[in-house]
Structure 1
Amino acid sequence: MRAAETLAVEKGRTLLVLDTATEEGASGLYEKLGFTLTGEIPDFALKPHGGLTGTLIYWKRIGGAT
């Protein structure tokens, strides 16, 4: 993730956005990396074995952007 952030800064990007399935358990990792949870979209993604799951949307400013 740090390498992706570094590359984005090198390319002049100032904002990263990502999403993850609500039930994946990645929330803690993204928050430790400085991402901010902005919200959840319910029933957005199809689970591998059927059924729907919500999606969490995260963002992070990078490259000294304020």
Structure 2
Amino acid sequence: MRCPCGCGATIELMVIPEARPRWSITTDAQRRPTLHPSVWRKTGCKSHFWVREGRIQWCD
């Protein structure tokens, strides 16, 4: 996915069970994704956010 801050960086999130760190993804009835845990870029723009029901929720 592209970083939602607009910096243009590509974010790769591992969802396979063997991966560490690993994110889980679920979808609701409208097929909107929710990721767990949050996404926190340690380099570059250093964005920290949740994806919940297809929307970005920024962390303080």
- What TM-score do you get using the length of structure 2 for normalisation? 0.24
Q: Which has the larger radius of gyration?
A: 1
1 or 2 for the larger relative contact order (CA 8 Å, sep ≥6)?
1
Name the structure with the higher helix share.
Answer: 1
Higher share of residues assigned strand: 1
